[in-house]
Amino acid sequence: MKISVIGTGYVGLVTGTCLAEIGNDITCVDKDHKKIENLKNGILPIYEAHLEDMLIRNIGENRLHFTTSVEDAVRHATIIFIAVGTPSHENGDIDMSQVDEVAGEIGKSLDAYKIIVNKSTVPVGSVKRVAEIIQRHLKREVEFDVISNPEFLREGSAVLDTFQGDRIVIGSTSKKATKILHDLYRPLKQKIFTTDPESAELIKYASNAFLATKISFINEIANICEKTGANVNEVAKGMGLDKRIGEKFLNAGIGFGGACFPKDVKGLIKIGEKLNYDFRIIRETLQVNEEQKMKPIMILDNLFPDLRGVQITVLGLTFKPDTDDIREAPSLDIINELHKRGAKIKAYDPIAIENAKRVLKLPIHYFHEAYDAIAGSDAVLLLTEWKEFKELNVRKIRSLMNRRVFIDGRNIFEAKAMRAKGFEYYGIGIDNCQFTAICSIEERMIPIENQKSHHTCGRA
């Protein structure tokens, strides 16, 4: 099939390249000339596993083309994916300006029946909105359909998710468009769920908000674990055995980040607000996450009377492993807070240092090797569970550190083993706990409401 994908961000590039891989003729469009020139030469603006090889192969086999002209792309295709950015405004409202602009340009260039697919994450009602804009810009009467087809790709495994995803959602009122989309996706051999456009649009927000809530839920359980001496890893394992709950997305830690969860949770709150509905649960999901990000700071505050001049090493800057994306990463808030408190900051990440330099305009000493970043530190903060961190030699780390505080924000090490090796080790919601260092065992037994208010969990 002849397909155009407008917007060569994360979603557009993965969608375009994967659809080329299954034999379609794809044209990707972006108004950024430099990006398009780079892409023509097989240079990706993002890091994503398997994407580069696939991009180069499909360019070579003449199935993947790049242009800056929306008009050419519209003419070329039967199906046009809109995959431009939909960032959120400060107040959580979705900025639809790029979608609106593209819809107008599509309208002006439409010359025959085409299907326009909303792939970007857009508020409920956007299928109608895009259809109206296209209609207004038509130069002559042409038939077209607009449908919703949200993506559920995870960064770092986006290619795999495209080929082995759990479902493809299509929101359409047109039988003709639905059939063509089914034909397009049939080779992927995945469950295709077809519904009305509004439901499809809401499925995306609801799914992300639900997963984000699962994370905030387990993080609150982690806080309770710290007050009771339970171990959140054990609790999560036990919970996950119930098939209705499932074992996934129950990893306690320093909270969720990335381009999707924070934005989509805020977006759903906004959708509610516009309908005069207060979505209380997900407002709390967000609030719990904001507090959870500060856990390493709370622990440090309890260990060091003053962080001024304390040498801290941050390991991991991205919001999760296998991506170079630091958008909304907990590391950003944590580093800003460390800076405010006057700590001396050293940082290492396997691939995101350049991205961090662009965003964090702070006096941070960046390293290209974990051990170099750790040498001479008073405390290590592990913020992303990169595989290479799991393989670090902890004896070597111990020998390199000044004071041996190790805060494991992703629970990748075993508390007992780390303590046995001489670390002041703190995980999130594990048996340690912060309380063994901060308040006495006896105090743990005092009813929560009577405990001192300075616990590291900060929620007393």
User: Residue positions in the annotated binding site for NAD(+)?
Assistant: 30, 35, 86, 121, 155, 263, 327
Whichever of 257 and 267 has its CB closer to ligand UDX, that residue is 257
Residues making up the annotated binding site for substrate are 152-155, 204, 249-253, 257, 320
Beta carbon nearer to ligand UDX, 36 or 232: 232
CB atoms within 10 A of CB 160: 13
Q: How far is the CB of 299 from ligand UDX (least distance, A)?
A: 17
Which residues form the interface with ligand UDX (CB under 6 A)? 151-155, 208, 211, 215, 249-251, 253, 256-258, 260-261, 319-320
Between 302 and 318, name the residue whose CB sits nearer to ligand UDX. Answer: 318
Rounded to 5°, angle at Cα 425 from 420 and 430? 100
Beta carbon nearer to ligand UDX, 249 or 371: 249
Name which of 204 and 270 has its Cβ closer to ligand UDX.
204
**Cβ atoms 382, 389 nearer than 8 A:** yes
**DSSP output for 126-182:** HHHHHHHHHHHH-SS---EEEEE----PPTTSHHHHHHH-S-EEEE-S-HHHHHHHH
DSSP state of 286: H
Output the smallest distance, CB 325 to ligand UDX, in A: 8
Residue nearest to ligand UDX (CB): 260
Distance CA 137, CA 100 (A): 11
Residue closer to ligand UDX, measured from CB, 131 or 299: 299
Look up residue 78 and give its two tokens: 């039967």
The distance of closest approach from Cβ of residue 154 to ligand UDX in the complex, given in angstroms and rounded to an integer, is 4
Nearest approach, Cβ of 422 to ligand UDX (angstroms)? Answer: 28
Per DSSP, the three-state class of 311 is strand
Catalytic residue of the set 260, 433, 439, 457: 260
Q: What letter represents residue 114's amino acid?
A: K
Across the beta sheet with 79-82, the strand order is 64-67, 25-29, 2-6, 79-82, 114-118, 144-148, 168-171, 192-195
To the query of whether residue 260 is one of the catalytic residues in this protein, the response is yes
What are the Cα distances from residue 313, in Å, to 203, 403, 454? 40, 12, 24
At 405 the three-state DSSP class reads strand
Residues belonging to the binding site are 30, 35, 86, 121, 152-155, 204, 249-253, 257, 263, 320, 327
In whole angstroms, the minimum distance from the beta carbon of 174 to ligand UDX comes to: 25
- Of 277, 147, 256, 168, the closest CA to residue 209 belongs to 256
Centroid of chain to Cα 80: 25
Instruction: Give me the least distance between CB of 217 and ligand UDX, in Å please.
Output: 10
Residue 252 CB coordination number (10 Å): 28
C-alpha 161/C-alpha 264 separation (Å) is 19
The residues carrying an active-site annotation are 260
